[in-house]
Amino acid sequence: MTKGKFYPLLLGVAVALGACSKNNEKTSVGTGNTPPPNAIAPGNVSGVVKGVFVAGASYTITGNLQVNKGDTLSAQPGAQITVKNNSLINVDGVLSLIGSKDSTIEINSDTKLPGSWGGLICDSATSVTIKWTHVDNTGGPDPTGSPTETVEMTTPGTLDIEDSWFTNGQDNGFNLKGGCKITILRNTILCSGSTDGEAIDVKNGVTGTIAYNVIYSQAGTAIKLESSSTTPIPQTQITAYNNTILCNGWRRGQAEPGRAISVDVGAMALFYNNIIEDNYQGILVTDQADTTNTKYGNNLFYASADTFLDTTGAASGLTPVTINIRSEFYPPDGIAKPQPTDIISTMVGQFDPMFVSFDGKLSTPNGAATSNNYHLQPGSPAIGKGNTTYNADIGAYTSDGKGNQH
């Protein structure tokens, strides 16, 4: 065989392969392999920063980060961020952490101990977006020795937190003030606040929606709403629906019982379709709230035990105190009353929301591991009993799939 004889054959094969590949065209776009022009180099980061934490890369924050006004700090799906030295991230510009269901962003400290870094302090930020991100173990001491909050925003920007996880903080989870506009959807907030702090603390003219969140074992109140006691306008106006709120408010003790939802000082709220189980107190609306415009109903109240025995003072010789959980669904201190559309359990076993799994522990320490699953079993009394303005079901996990994705 001479070389020459092969040429037509090769050509023929090539033509045939060419025709074939045209039919099965595959396009691959440069995901992650080509860093964006403003990528932040992987490795140690500290000081003034802007740009992008890129997908799949690992970063170690070794000192406080500062995002200046006008600058943006963003993260791509899969970015791994480890924080050392109790550093915090202070944002005066834009924060945009956008992970995906398949590739979440992780922010945690090197020690992975509760209260070991300073959180996302976005006091003066213009915009905060956090999606599909794990934010764990915040709450290290700030310059005054107080625990920092997990996410803080105190100016009239926009805050959008969706599908993310927040665990083991030391104080308030989200501390929101100063008239920001909030959208807090489908998040899971677990085991935060050492002996104080609310999960979502909304004050001073903040408006927006809090829905489909799971809030479990917060030291203080799960969703706390207030206007400023000195500057009542703009008013705090929140719609809170389809949240699953469990086991909150115990760690702070009897002097400051935590609630599932509290509406105080000039705040206006609409809250429907929430599952409220095993909290120290359920729904508190004080006489200082905007009682004319605050509306609520279709909330499911359940206690997995009749009472909680508080033995905190036992070491000091105090008699243990028995707390009747059901009598605190609408605590007598408040003016909120049971609504006809509410589902209120009057005994253990009645109107149990039937979570896939729940260990029945009412109070656990800050940072304790938990593996409960708050999806509803078929036949749950929460299904189909919602206020349909919001959802046909009650709780964070709904049959229409619009609820929590975790």
Give the Cα separation of 306 and 327 in Å (integer).
10
Q: Is 305 in the site for another protein (CB under 8 A)?
A: no
Torsion-angle region of 192 (φ positive above 0: left; ψ -120 to 50: alpha; else: beta): beta
Give the Cα separation of 182 and 207 in Å (integer).
6
Q: Computed from CA positions of residues 195, 338, 380, 349, in that sequence, does the dihedral angle turn out positive or negative?
A: positive
Residues 14-73 that bind another protein (CB under 8 A): 46-48, 63-68
- Give the DSSP H/E element, type plus range, for residue 73: strand 72-75
Pick one of 366, 380, 387, 391: the residue that binds another protein (CB under 8 A).
366
- Give the DSSP H/E element, type plus range, for residue 223: strand 223-225
Chain-centre distance for alpha carbon 285: 23
Give the Cα separation of 89 and 1 in Å (integer).
72
Residues 154-193 that bind another protein (CB under 8 A): none
Q: Is 360 in the site for another protein (CB under 8 A)?
A: no
Pick one of 292, 371, 379, 401: the residue that binds another protein (CB under 8 A).
292
Least distance CB 295 / another protein (angstroms): 16
Give the Cα separation of 179 and 202 in Å (integer).
10
CA dihedral 138, 144, 145, 148 (to 10 degrees): -10
Q: Is 371 in the site for another protein (CB under 8 A)?
A: no
Least distance CB 380 / another protein (angstroms): 28
Q: Is 365 in the site for another protein (CB under 8 A)?
A: yes
Pick one of 333, 348, 357, 389: the residue that binds another protein (CB under 8 A).
333
Least distance CB 159 / another protein (angstroms): 20
Instruction: Give the binding-site size for another protein (rule: CB under 8 A).
Output: 74
Residues 205-234 that bind another protein (CB under 8 A): 219, 226-234
Q: Is 322 in the site for another protein (CB under 8 A)?
A: no
Q: Is 143 in the site for another protein (CB under 8 A)?
A: yes
For residues 32 and 232, which CB has a smaller minimum distance to another protein in the complex? 232
In the chain, what is the greatest distance between 2 CA atoms, to the nearest angstrom? 104
For residues 205 and 381, which CB has a smaller minimum distance to another protein in the complex? 205
Q: Is 235 in the site for another protein (CB under 8 A)?
A: yes
C-alpha distances in Å from residue 23, one per residue of 10, 14, 16: 20, 14, 11
Pick one of 179, 266, 282, 381: the residue that binds another protein (CB under 8 A).
266
Q: Is 345 in the site for another protein (CB under 8 A)?
A: no
3-state helix, strand, coil in the chain (%, to 5): 5, 35, 60
For residues 258 and 381, which CB has a smaller minimum distance to another protein in the complex? 258
Pick one of 109, 154, 164, 262: the residue that binds another protein (CB under 8 A).
262
Q: Is 112 in the site for another protein (CB under 8 A)?
A: no
